[in-house]
Amino acid sequence: MMSDLAGQRRWHKYTPIEDGGSWFLPNNNHLSHTFSSSKHINILHIHTYILISKTTLIQPSTMVAISKPPIEHFFLKPCKQTNNNHHHPTSIPIIDLSKPESKHQLVKACQDFGFFKVINHQVPLQFINKLESKAIKFFNSPLSLKQKAGPPDPFGYGNKHLGQNGDFGWVEYLLLNLKHEPNHKNPTISVFEDNPEEFQCAVNDYVTAVKKMTCEILELLADELKLQSRNVFSKLLLDEQSDSVFRVNYYPPCPELQEHELTGKKLIGFGEHTDPQIISVLRSNNTSGLEILLKTGCWMSVPPDSTSFFINVGDSLQVMTNGRFKSVKHRVVANSLKSRLSMIYFGGPPLNEKIAPLPSLMESDEASLYKEFTWFEYKKSAFNSRLSDNRLGSFENNQHNVSS
């Protein structure tokens, strides 16, 4: 069967191939070639590319017939278990920062979920709103302009590609380096033509306030864990050399998704993963999408709240607490009608910092669950991994060498 695809103007849905699957093709003048179903090649990479790209050229040499509906590859498997069990409803822990006695709850949240919501946080609303409006302006500007700040290597503007290893998502983002490096200019700055410094200023104000709140939380945690000093965690973020990053994610609405939502299908915005750093602090607009993986193996949707912060334990904090705190798996599903904008501060240690369980936390006969490594080593390995990989796996101590 041959299909001539010349001159398609809109997204089109086809059902032309033997297995009866339907598939989508973007509006793309360069797709003026003939597809033949005799050349079946099942490459997910190409399927997804064809599905999601409204702007990217697809080289004729990579054109293949598609035997399955590409949009299917973006669908997430529905959860068989239910999380709205009426007897034991699961809800996200809410920590009121104006009540220091909440530190007990804070530790419990890090142990049970690796995730919690923070209210009464003292981060000035004006910083949040200013940065949010500048970010929205950026994402709403022409693609050609945004691309001047890309591709992310790893910093800069990214569109649908996540990391360097073929992960995709229905998302655009700005990834910015917060590490103090002489002569380092964030790649995005030049894109804000009217006043480039203003954007950097908005980022600095926001990050400074969020970092302050984050350090307070880390100190409450250290306190409650009875660690030798309150600043064991926070000093890593406050260090001049702290390797922290900042990210703004923009999930455009996906109208094509509407018909599929009726059947309960979900589209990947940002695939499941854990964050490698110590701690991640997220603020989003009021569009849902974020989900966390519960111990039951069930994904729970996090109700959005633009006035609060959502915090998750990163892999490094899991290691420093020898597994007491959990680096939670999370993901974002795309929305058919509303855009989601999230801003995330990833607090990381200096590159040369040794990441290991804190001695004062270990019981006398307790063995480290992890091999010794520096943040540099872990980060390098993380950036070479795929989004959903179990990145800590190769740093775990196995049964034979735990006693050492």
Ligand X SMILES: O=C(O)CCC(=O)C(=O)O
Ligand Y SMILES: C=C1C[C@]23C[C@H]1CC[C@H]2[C@@]12CCC[C@@](C)(C(=O)O1)[C@H]2[C@@H]3C(=O)O
Q: Which is nearer to ligand X, 103 or 330 (CB)?
A: 330
382 binds ligand Y (CB under 6 A): yes
Contact between 330 and ligand X by CB under 6 A: the answer reads yes
Could you check whether the bond before residue 154 is cis, i.e. omega within 30 degrees of 0? yes
Nearest-5° angle of CA 54, CA 269, CA 16?
50
Which C-beta is closer to ligand X: that of 188 or that of 284?
284
Select from 91, 383, 390, 401 the one that contacts ligand Y (CB under 6 A).
383
Whole-number Å distance between alpha carbons of 134 and 382: 30
9 among known catalytic residues? no
Q: C-beta of 381: minimal distance to ligand Y in Å?
A: 10
Q: Does 344 bind ligand X (CB under 6 A)?
A: yes
Q: Which member of 151, 154, 303, 359 binds ligand Y (CB under 6 A)? A: 154
290 binds, among Fe ion, ligand X, ligand Y, none (CB under 5 to 8 A by kind): ligand X
User: With respect to ligand X, which residue has the nearer C-beta, 102 or 287?
Assistant: 287
Angle at 34 between CA 31 and CA 38, to 5 degrees: 130
Nearer to ligand Y, 103 or 161 (CB): 161
Name residues contacting Fe ion, limited to 260-279 (CB under 5 A). Answer: 275
CA-based nearest residue to 31, from 10, 1, 17: 10
Assign residue 166 a region: left if phi > 0, alpha if psi is -120 to 50, beta otherwise?
A: left
Classify the phi-psi angles of 114: left when phi > 0, otherwise alpha if psi is within -120 to 50, otherwise beta.
left
Q: How many residues touch ligand Y (CB under 6 A)?
A: 16
Burial of 199 (0-12, 13-18, 19+ CB in 10 A): buried
d(CA 348, CA 333): 26
Q: Is position 157 an interface residue for ligand X (rule: CB under 6 A)? A: no
Which residue numbers are catalytic? 340
Residues found near ligand Y in the complex (CB under 6 A)? 154, 162-163, 165, 167, 175, 245, 273, 275-276, 346, 382-383, 385-387
Interacting residues with Fe ion (CB under 5 A):
275
